Structure 1
Amino acid sequence: MNPQELAAKVGEVIGTSDWVEMSQERINQFAEATGDHQFIHVNEEMAKMTPFGGTIAHGFLTLSMIPYLGANGGAPRIDGVKMGVNYGGNKTRFIAPVRAGKRIRGHWKLTEMVEKRPGQWQQTCEITIEIEGEEKPALMCEWITQYFV
């Protein structure tokens, strides 16, 4: 679809991803990559003694899953995109912890799609990452992506 057609979908949910497991292995790999080895993420025995009852994913790991979830989220693709870049976020809230072994998925609601200059479009989405079987989502954010066509 072209950018103008996508802009007509402002206010709509434009994609929902498949469920993805947040395994302890994934959490451990993220700890290694970032140097964040806080026990609530990597020490299963110590984490059992916390209110979480076990290890939890890093909030930034959950946030970093957005590109992966988005790639299989079924959102419309813009025709002729040469490049897409993350521009940043206006709001990010970590609402509920993701326990190791739980599954998450993302929902994308298009809140804005504007042409910043010829061939450069800025998309803003409200993204909600939910946890399977839980009432509260893991996180909500307002994320901005720029597309060059």
Structure 2
Amino acid sequence: MTTFADFAALRAAIGTEVGVSEWIEIDQYRIDRFAEATGDRQWIHVDPIRAAAGPFGRTIAHGFLTLALLAPISQQLMAVSSARMAINYGLDKVRFPAPAPVGSRMRGTLVLVSVTDIEGGVQVARDITLVADGVAKPVCVARHLVRYLS
């Protein structure tokens, strides 16, 4: 965990890798719970028997499940102690270059891209790359925007 004391410390870290998260297990239980929560029950995610004969050889995590893991991963990697709150402002770009297969582990790397002044605080752009063990390409690459308010 990297804790930035204030917005000046954030600005000083632009262009640097903040850290690499712990591994998160992608098991069928997590995938099934996500399918239930979202109503996305496509067979490549929730039917292990059918998926075994499909293009990936087993079930895979939903792209939006991998995207949802940005929250716990980024919270694990950085904080701004002088901010009274952080607000997820959105995403500029998201890609899923490769699927995250069931049984794999994922972790993320966070790089600070920019810090822009806004009323009451700053907006931070962070590039987050999620990788899965045993997968050659990243499973998710996203530019995440967060607003830190003082």
Q: TM-score, with normalisation over the residues of structure 2? A: 0.94
Question: Structure 1: any 5+ residue segments left out of the alignment?
Answer: none
How many residues align? The count is 146
Which of 88, 91, 105 is residue 90 of structure 2 equivalent to? 88
- Cα distance in 2 between the residues matched to 1:96 and 1:102: 13
User: Which residue is 1:11 aligned to?
Assistant: 15
Give per-residue Cα distances to partners, 1:67-90, cap 9 Å, x unaligned.
1112222x3x21222111111111
Give per-residue Cα distances to partners, 1:10-69, cap 9 Å, x unaligned.
111112110010110000000000000000000000001111001000000000001111
Q: AA paired with 1:128?
A: T
- Cα distance in 2 between the residues matched to 1:134 and 1:97: 8
Give per-residue Cα distances to partners, 1:96-133, cap 9 Å, x unaligned.
0000110000111100012212x311000111001113
- Cα distance in 2 between the residues matched to 1:69 and 1:126: 12
Structure 1 moving runs of 4+ over 2 Å: none
- Cα distance in 2 between the residues matched to 1:129 and 1:25: 20
Q: Map of 1:38-77 to 2, 5 A cutoff?
A: 38-73=42-77, 75=78, 77=79
Q: AA paired with 1:5?
A: A
User: Which residue is 2:128 aligned to?
Assistant: 127
- Cα distance in 2 between the residues matched to 1:58 and 1:143: 19
RMSD: 1.0
User: Which residue is 1:141 aligned to?
Assistant: 142
Q: AA paired with 2:59?
A: T
